[in-house]
């Protein structure tokens, strides 16, 4: 059995929402990322940073509760993908992702200059299930400010000075039936953007995600599982038979990617991973930031589409 690949960080980790930076990834961490598909660093967020993030999430949850109450009052929970409206005229989309029905509300503030997509569902016993807050920093800017600490590491892994910041999301599982089957993040990039990597790519997937646990996230509460090791020609979207998938993706080698509050995992877009439902009674909350490659010489972008949330897919300078 292979152990989890974790590089312990000995130096002081500094608070988010400040001008201080996270220490760069070491050569060992970078090598692990490309050899195994991921690397974990402990205590990237300290307790105050987690508390700051929790306050933002609480505010987003209150908005979600208001929307769910309106759905309840109308007794209106459509299941077929469609564009729908609440009685007060608020639009929302019904989307089915991996067999889970979600109600997608784009909520804007600041005269429409910023927005967050709030995605909620209904459990089998009729309660609200929070699926995720997409571009969460649109309504709660500290979630963006605190995530800037990842810029240097992203520059190291993508090999560029600028990137498109396409994802700043909160994935929440609290007594949730929501689960994510085995997948690679590159599938989502290609499905959302048919022209993904059409104009440029870095030859390494052109995308990196940094996932920070804001609560415990392990096999007891719907945490992540992954298959260590990279295969350049493995693309799960082309495999429909589970027996073949199990063999090709080496699912027998899957490990729980256990995270404590404040830990961060960086993942390669071809890394095979998934997560189970959380019926433990304990919350599992992740802050997810995703960045795509911009070629330094040509200025061309791997990503060509705007993402949900006003302000997403913004070009950012990763290092001065």
147: which 2 tokens?
Answer: 């995530």
Domain boundaries, the chain: 6-45+140-317
- The mean per-residue pLDDT over the stretch 221-232 comes to 90
Residue 221: pLDDT above 70?
yes
d(CA 128, CA 303): 33
Q: pLDDT at position 303, please?
A: 97
**pLDDT tens track for 1-47:** 333 444 443 333 233 344 457 999 999 999 999 999 999 999 999 99
| Residues 283/57, Cβ–Cβ less than 8 Å | no
Q: Report the CATH fold assignment for 6-45+140-317.
A: Jelly Rolls (2.60.120)
Please name which of 114, 115, 91 lies closest in space to residue 103, comparing C-alpha atoms: 91
List Cβ neighbours of 223 (8 Å cut-off, separation of 6 or more).
216, 217, 256, 257, 258, 259, 275, 284
Instruction: List, for residues 239-279, the tens digit of each pLDDT value.
Output: 888 898 899 899 999 999 999 999 999 999 999 999 998 88
How far apart are alpha carbons 296 and 162 in whole angstroms?
7
Q: Which two three-digit tokens encode residue 28? A: 């060992």
- Given a contact cutoff of 8 angstroms between Cβ atoms, the answer to whether 205 and 268 are in contact is yes
Cβ distance 174 to 283 under 8 Å? yes
- pLDDT tens column, 51-79: 999 999 999 999 999 999 999 999 999 99
Average pLDDT, the chain: 90
As a whole number of angstroms, the distance between CA 105 and CA 115 comes to: 10
Place of tokens 């692990």: 32
Question: Residue 182 corresponds to which tokens in the numbers above?
Answer: 């085995």
Distance from C-alpha of 81 to C-alpha of 147, rounded to nearest angstrom: 33
More confident residue, 70 or 114: 70
- Which stretch of 67-81, 103-117, 229-243, 290-304 has the lowest confidence by average pLDDT? 229-243
The radius of gyration of the chain's CA atoms, rounded to the nearest angstrom, is 19
**Model confidence band, residue 236 (pLDDT cutoffs 50, 70, 90):** confident
Our CA angle for 171, 175, 179, nearest 5°, is 55
Q: Say how many C-beta atoms besides its own lie within 10 A of residue 69's C-beta.
A: 11
Q: Residue 238 pLDDT more than 80?
A: no
């Amino acid at each position: 059995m292979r152990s989890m690949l974790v590089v312990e960080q000995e130096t002081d980790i500094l608070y988010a929402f400040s001008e201080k930076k996270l220490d760069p990834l070491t050569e060992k961490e970078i090598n692990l990322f490309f050899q195994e598909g991921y690397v974990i660093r402990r205590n990237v967020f300290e307790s105050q940073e987690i508390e700051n993030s929790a306050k933002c999430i609480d505010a987003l949850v209150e908005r979600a509760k208001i929307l769910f109450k309106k759905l309840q009052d109308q007794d209106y929970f459509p299941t077929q993908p469609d564009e729908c409206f609440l009685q007060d005229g608020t639009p929302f989309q019904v989307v089915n992702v991996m067999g889970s029905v979600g109600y997608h509300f784009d909520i804007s503030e600041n005269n429409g200059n910023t927005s967050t997509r709030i995605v909620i569902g209904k459990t089998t016993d009729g309660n609200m299930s929070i699926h995720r807050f997409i571009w969460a920093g649109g309504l709660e800017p500290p979630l963006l400010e605190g995530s800037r600490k990842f810029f240097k590491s992203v520059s190291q892994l993508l090999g560029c000075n600028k990137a498109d910041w396409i994802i700043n999301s909160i994935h929440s599982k609290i007594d949730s039936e929501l689960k994510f089957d085995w997948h690679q993040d590159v599938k989502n990039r290609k499905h959302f953007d048919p022209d993904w990597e059409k104009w440029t790519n870095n030859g390494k997937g052109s995308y990196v995600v940094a996932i920070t646990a804001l609560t415990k996230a392990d096999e007891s509460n719907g945490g992540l599982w992954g298959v260590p090791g990279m295969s350049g020609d493995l693309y799960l979207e082309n495999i429909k038979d589970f027996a073949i998938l199990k063999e090709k993706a080496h699912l027998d080698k899957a490990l729980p990617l256990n995270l404590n509050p404040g830990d961060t995992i960086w993942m390669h877009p071809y890394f095979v991973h998934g997560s189970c439902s959380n019926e433990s009674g304990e919350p599992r909350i992740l802050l997810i930031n995703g960045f795509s490659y911009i070629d330094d010489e040509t200025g061309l972008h791997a990503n060509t589409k705007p993402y949900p949330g006003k302000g997403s897919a913004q070009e950012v300078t990763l290092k001065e």
